[in-house]
Amino acid sequence: MTDGLSSPSSSPRIGILVVAYNAEATLEKTLDRIPADFRPRIAEILILDDASHDATFTAGCRWSQLDGMPPTVVMRHTKNLGYGGNQKAGYALAAERGLDIVVLLHGDGQYAPELLPQMVEPLVRGECEAVFGSRMMRPRDALRGGMPLYKWLGNRILTRLENALLGSELTEFHSGYRAYKVDALRRLPIERNTDAFDFDTQIIVQMADAGMRIAEIPIPTYYGDEICYVNGLRYAKDVVKDVLEYRLAKKGFGTCGWIPKPVEYAFKEGDGSSHAVILDRMRGLPPGRVLDVGCSGGAFAERLEALGHTVTGVDCVEVEGVRDRCSGGFHLADLEEGLPDDIGEGYDYVVAGDVIEHLSRPERLLDELRGVLRPDGHVLLSVPNFGHWYSRLRVALGIFDYDRRGILDETHLRFFSRASLRRTVRAAGYDVLSISATGAPFWSVLGGGPPATVLGGVSKLLTRLRPTLFGYQYVALLTPHAARTIIAGEHIDVQDILNRQFVPVDTATHRVGV
């Protein structure tokens, strides 16, 4: 369905989603407060009774039969879905019935129906994807409206913490008065969200992650019966956990199924990652033909092209724009099945950054890469270090599980230590010129500032002192097995030349026997 808000000649279909639980005494009074001059603009009211123990459903049906009311659907769940589960059902119904805008209204009168026109206007004008009613835009009004002091303080503290972790600037995270574009909700994986009260926080995080715009308007504070169902301490723990889980997931830790995993690798210059280390290595090499295996969207290839290299990309998924960033061409191929037949040969360099651990038979790919490489060419590859203290500790404590990215990436099929990496590449026909270790990215979760800088520096120092325990990833520089060639009757040892050309200067680089 096209977004009805994009056409100035058509009015958006506005829906009101009323979530209700044991709201028999308040539901009709709340609905009566919907401004009379706004009712003609409402395409449909959806009242969802979440398996109440009282006559909430009957009250909703009774109100829907009154003269002059907007078209109203009243539904009663046969089992309690929870605050978040009820919203999921309501938003799915809003999409099914072709609504363009849906406003969340609580059946207990906690939020002011009188402000429905103001809630939808920024969406009608196309200024944002969501509008939140905030009780904290005028903070003292919340206290005057009956919000207990401890709840007011808790709201302020939690909102400040959540803003700091998300990089947002909302005045309140914990208002349940919200209006959304239905099309925006359709693009979010809200079906994966919790069914509990922190559902609203997870939607904020999802919208922030997707780059969607959120507007706020000031609203008055009322307290109804529904607030009694919220366990304040548990709610505070859950919302903080959600935001921390998101921050960790963006760094690769945990699975966090309610946040989409990006298809494209997000390369950041100088972030200390294996790709950044490989790029630094490539800056010291003469320009040549590069085969970038697992090139993703071509962000790394683009940087190599800027250094004068001609890059050919290979990946199992074609990300938009990748062909523009790889002047040597792009090949769509499943590396589990090997290199494509038309990949060519005679490459000066092959880059395989964080690739072979995703394959069940990495030896096969390494062997094929040797076949497309020049005899004096080089392979730069990186793999996570399974011997790192993080994975060792999780195994020792019996809490082994997968993460979104990193050492325990949920798509990894093979794990490597420095010794097993060395054995694997030598068995595939390579000499190891050097292996270096990168520091862990854990401390970047803290953002900038002195704590992250100090802890990051300690991590780098420990990596230099004990790379097998503190090194997060290994970056290896390889060349096909040394061969003796004859030039003008003389025997030239290619390996001797290569060893003289590539002398490691980083103290974190550890020479291995070749």
Give the 3-state secondary structure of residue 217: strand
Share of the chain above pLDDT 70, in %: 86
Cα(194)–Cα(239) distance, integer angstroms: 11
Share of the chain above pLDDT 90, in %: 70
Residues 230 and 353 in one domain: no
Q: Is 259 within a domain?
A: no
H helix runs in 102-231, sequence order: 116-124, 139-144, 149-166, 182-186, 199-209
Q: Which residues contact residue 277 at a Cβ distance below 8 angstroms, ignoring those fewer than 6 apart?
A: 382, 436, 438, 475
Residues 246 and 279 in one domain: no
The answer to whether 465 and 389 are in contact (CB under 8 A) is: no
β-strand 101-106 against 178-181: which pairing, if any?
A: antiparallel
Q: How many domains does the chain have?
A: 2
pLDDT score of 204: 97
Domain that includes residue 410, residue range: 274-510
**CATH classification of the domain holding 183:** 3.90.550.10
Q: Is 439 within a domain?
A: yes
Cα(514)–Cα(511) distance, integer angstroms: 9
Residues 244 and 288 in one domain: no
pLDDT tens-digit series, residues 469-484? 999 999 999 999 865 4
pLDDT score of 270: 55
Enter the tokens of residue 504: 């490691």
Q: Is 255 within a domain?
A: no
Residues 96 and 23 in one domain: yes
Q: Is 258 within a domain?
A: no
Q: Please, which pLDDT band fits residue 228 given cuts at 50, 70 and 90?
A: low
The answer to whether 479 and 379 are in contact (CB under 8 A) is: yes
Residues 131 and 245 in one domain: yes
Residues 162 and 243 in one domain: yes
Give the 3-state secondary structure of residue 430: strand
pLDDT tens-digit series, residues 388-435? 999 999 999 998 888 887 888 888 999 999 999 999 999 999 999 999
pLDDT tens-digit series, residues 475-514? 999 999 865 433 344 444 444 544 444 444 343 333 333 3
Q: Please, which pLDDT band fits residue 449 given cuts at 50, 70 and 90?
A: low
pLDDT tens-digit series, residues 239-278? 999 999 898 887 767 778 888 876 656 665 555 778 889 9
pLDDT score of 447: 58
pLDDT score of 267: 60
Q: Please, which pLDDT band fits residue 232 given cuts at 50, 70 and 90?
A: confident
**CATH classification of the domain holding 376:** 3.40.50.150
Burial of 133 (0-12, 13-18, 19+ CB in 10 A): buried
Residue 321 in this model has a pLDDT that exceeds 80: yes
Residues 70 and 200 in one domain: yes
Q: Is 260 within a domain?
A: no
Residues 304 and 175 in one domain: no
Backbone φ and ψ of 10, nearest 5°: -120, 145
Q: Is 338 within a domain?
A: yes
Residues 234 and 282 in one domain: no
Residues 453 and 499 in one domain: yes
Cα(132)–Cα(217) distance, integer angstroms: 6
Backbone φ and ψ of 446, nearest 5°: -75, -5
Residues found in the chain: 514
H helix runs in 264-374, sequence order: 274-283, 299-306, 322-325, 362-372
Q: Is 268 within a domain?
A: no
Residues 23 and 112 in one domain: yes
pLDDT score of 446: 57
Residue 337 in this model has a pLDDT that exceeds 80: yes
DSSP 439-457: PP-GGGGG-SSHHHHHHHH
Q: What is the CA radius of gyration of the chain?
A: 29
H-helix or E-strand spanning residue 311: strand 310-315
Residues 496 and 350 in one domain: yes
Cα(261)–Cα(202) distance, integer angstroms: 15
pLDDT score of 498: 44
Residue 110 or 224, more confident? 110
Q: Is 265 within a domain?
A: no
